Amino acid sequence: MKGLTQDEQLDGQPADSRDAILVAACRAVAEQGIRGMRLEAVAREAGVSVPLVYYHFESRPGLIRAVLRYVGAAAPSEVLRERPPGFSAYEALEAALISEIDDEPRVRDASVIWGEVNASAVFDPKLRDELRRVNRAWSALVAEAIESGIADGSVDPTVDPAVAAELLISLVDGLCARWLGGTLEVERARRLVAAALRAALAPRRASDSIE
């Protein structure tokens, strides 16, 4: 807390300073990467002091962990938590995973941030616990959708939901890295997600193996 009390810190600060810092940090990571993110620049962009950044997030890794949580909570796959009626679990899952790959700035920035935190965790073990937590949450969400698909008949009943979920999210990450790194077109990446879902999850009709 750098010797300042909460009242001193918050005196005169807008109530949503924490959010403003998070938004500024997300933009900084999306534009320059984690290693290019400067706390001074984030504070300036958010219109707050650097000590207030420390007050809310404790440390630089603390801010990065909060950025990861913030991005994870807004991820396109989160729509799976409340599936609209009239769609099979397979259709909902396909729509959710495809929408993770999109040149719309908000989605693209979130994907850049996700990739950055993953890449930084290779060199910074302090990020790993949070990364594991967010990864597990995503994997569990996809596994639940696969289980629902087995129940509603839209997914092959011989599929192992946990294995298929981990494979699918790892694949989406790998395709995102290619898309963001400029080696794969966004539309092809999206078609590849759809193809992978068919190969991994679609029920196999008897005709598939007879023809």
Q: What are the residues binding a copy of itself (CB under 8 A)?
A: 32-33, 35-36, 112, 115-116, 118-119, 121-123, 125, 127-128, 131-132, 135, 163, 166-167, 169-175, 177-178, 180-184, 192, 195-196, 199-200, 204-206, 208-210
With beta carbons less than 8 A apart as the criterion, state whether 75 and 101 touch. no
Closest to a copy of itself by CB, 15 vs 206, is: 206
Closest to a copy of itself by CB, 10 vs 147, is: 147
CB of 32 to a copy of itself, least distance (A): 7
Q: Which residues of 53-67 are buried (b: 16+ CB within 10 A; e: fewer)?
A: bbbbbeebbebbbbb
Three-state SS for 164-198 is HHHHHHHHHHHHHHHHHCCCCCHHHHHHHHHHHHH
What's the gap between Cα 113 and its chain centre? 8
Closest to a copy of itself by CB, 46 vs 201, is: 201
**In whole angstroms, what is the distance from residue 155 CA to residue 148 CA?**
8
CB of 71 to a copy of itself, least distance (A): 15
CB of 21 to a copy of itself, least distance (A): 22
Closest to a copy of itself by CB, 4 vs 196, is: 196
